[in-house]
A = this chain, B = another copy of it.
Amino acid sequence: MSNNKKSMLAIGLMSGTSLDGIDGAIVEIKPDFSCNFIEGHSINYSAQMQAKIKKLFSYRISPKFLCEMNFLIGEYFAKCAMELINKTKLNPDLIGSHGITLYHNPLNKNFENFSLKSTLQIGEGAVIAERTGITTICDFRVQDIAAGGEGAPLVPFADKILFGNSSINRAILNLGGIANVTVLSTNCDIFAFDTGPANMLIDGAMRKLFNKNFDKNGKIAKLGKINNNLLQKLMQNKYLYISPPKSTGREIFGEKYLEKILSTTNDTPENIIATLTMFTAKSIKQAFTDFIYPKSTIKEIILGGGGAYNKTLKENLSKEFEPETKIKTHEDYGISNKYKEAIAFALLAYCTFHNIPNNIKTATGAVKEVILGKIIRKV
């Protein structure tokens, strides 16, 4: 560990699996890691850009298109950072950018003597560094994969910093496209994994059935009734029963899976949304029952991410978990739900900048601690 750390203003940039836009957070981080969230800012991709991004996730793409999109997405990330800088009139020292995950393939297969585990984030960091004039750290996942890990989840490192100084056994549950849980317990090492979908299926179905990007406050889900037959089928998804460490994304819970779901039911749109929302809650509960409670009781679950604003999802979780385990949100602790992941990448960047290893082996399964990310220097 470096002993000459200094306080820094850092921006974290995140674009999650929902692919609607970019979240940026500016944070003051002190050498003791105490961290003050100053401001958040989000931009949406234009319709034309969103169409281009969607094309990236096609079965096959041209190298030229990929090459261009890496730079274009970098421009959008830079735009988010610049708007945040202009909004706050601050001069940040550092940017940590997650990029967009184009593909995540943590399964162990071999070619010749080499492993085929891999992950790929795009959104060129050099563009962000050049447009902002700020040292930028990007590509946080690859180093952990190279060290034998899953390259995910990375947010537990931030969870530990933000919520680890407590005698209460906690689980931090981020509800982005995918649901990620971090277990901070006095009974066991930190561990973390993706439980399955959070908003990905709900958002996808909202787009198809209601032409809306998401179910605001969970209102549509509230109107519908649970289709128990469909829910039962969903709960058979094999991913749910794989032991951690594990991570997932649209490879398993993306459009194809959603299309398959929608093709098997004639139920009303509201009932489908209600059922998908319940599936998110039940799949999370399943993960606790199978993989978390056997290791530790959990006093409270702290929700974050956009899904923390979905009241129906939150109610479903309360019904599943309370009173044994209390459901809270980041905002109960003064941290933005929406910008939690962006904040996490600001914290990760701060550590990388100071040569502090920042993967959590027990979360990613890596064989050693590594300094995540690639540094693009601006003097």
Residues of A within 8 A of B (CB): 46, 48-49, 56-57, 59-64, 66-68, 70-72, 74-75, 102-105, 111-112, 114-120, 124-127, 129-131, 138-139, 142-143, 145-147, 352, 355, 357, 370-371, 373-379
Contacts and interface: CB of A to CB of B under 8 A. Distances in A.
Contact of A147 (B46, B66, B130, B357): B130
Nearest to A151: B126
A4 B112 CA distance: 43
Contact of A67 (B102, B114, B357): B102
Nearest to A148: B130
A146 B130 contact: yes
Contacts of A57: 63
A129 B143 contact: yes
Contact of A119 (B67, B120, B125, B139): B67
Contacts of A118: 67-68, 70-71, 124
Question: Which one of A46, A126, A352 has the highest number of Cβ atoms from chain B below 10 Å of its Cβ?
Answer: A126
Contacts of A70: 118, 120
Contact of A112 (B46, B62, B125): B46
B355 A120 contact: no
Nearest to A379: B355
A112 B142 CA distance: 31
